[in-house]
Amino acid sequence: DSGVTQTPKHLITATGQRVTLRCSPRSGDLSVYWYQQSLDQGLQFLIQYYNGEERAKGNILERFSAQQFPDLHSELNLSSLELGDSALYFCASSVGPPANTGELFFGEGSRLTVL
């Protein structure tokens, strides 16, 4: 158990809909990262927050947005969903940035299926 909690574990929805994925980082971790992993693909970095502020952005679509709240939990909002958005979405947390050998701890992911 990494200590990172993601909900929901599974989600099935229709095209055009909007969903929110939630992540609770390990106690004491200030950084939260979101990744997308499509079937048989590598992990694609979406966005990172540190202590409530956006710090790094990857290939995140404009239809997607995220935020980190004062209690450090984070939410990833996916809107106008398309079939291609079906994927595993992982959240990871670390005390500091990976550059400082801040270990990344991953949650078990939220599997999104768009029909």
Partner 1 sequence: KNQVEQSPQSLIILEGKNCTLQCNYTVSPFSNLRWYKQDTGRGPVSLTIMTFSENTKSNGRYTATLDADTKQSSLHITASQLSDSASYICVVSLPDLYNTNAGKSTFGDGTTLTVKP
Length of the chain: 115
Residue 4 Cβ, how far from partner 1 at the closest point, in Å?
Answer: 8
Per-residue x/- marks for partner 1, 28-67, CB under 8 A? --xx-x-------xxxxx--x-xx---xx-----------
Q: Tell me whether the omega of the peptide bond preceding residue 98 falls within 30 degrees of 0, making it cis.
A: no
Which residue type, as a one-letter code, is found at position 48? Answer: Q
Q: How far is the CB of 16 from partner 1 (least distance, A)?
A: 27
Cα distances (angstroms) measured from residue 61 to each of 46, 47, 51, 65, 108: 8, 10, 23, 8, 22
C-beta closer to partner 1: residue 17 or 113: 113
CB of 64 to partner 1, least distance (A): 18
- Burial (0-12, 13-18, 19+ Cβ within 10 Å), 88: middle
Q: Scan for tokens 């200590």, then name that residue.
A: 3
Residue 97 within binding range of partner 1, rule CB under 8 A? yes
Contact 14, 114 (CB under 8 A): yes
Nearest distance from residue 112's CB to partner 1, in Å?
13
The residue ranges that bind partner 1 (CB under 8 A) are 2, 4, 30-31, 33, 41-45, 48, 50-51, 55-56, 88, 90, 92, 94, 96-109, 111
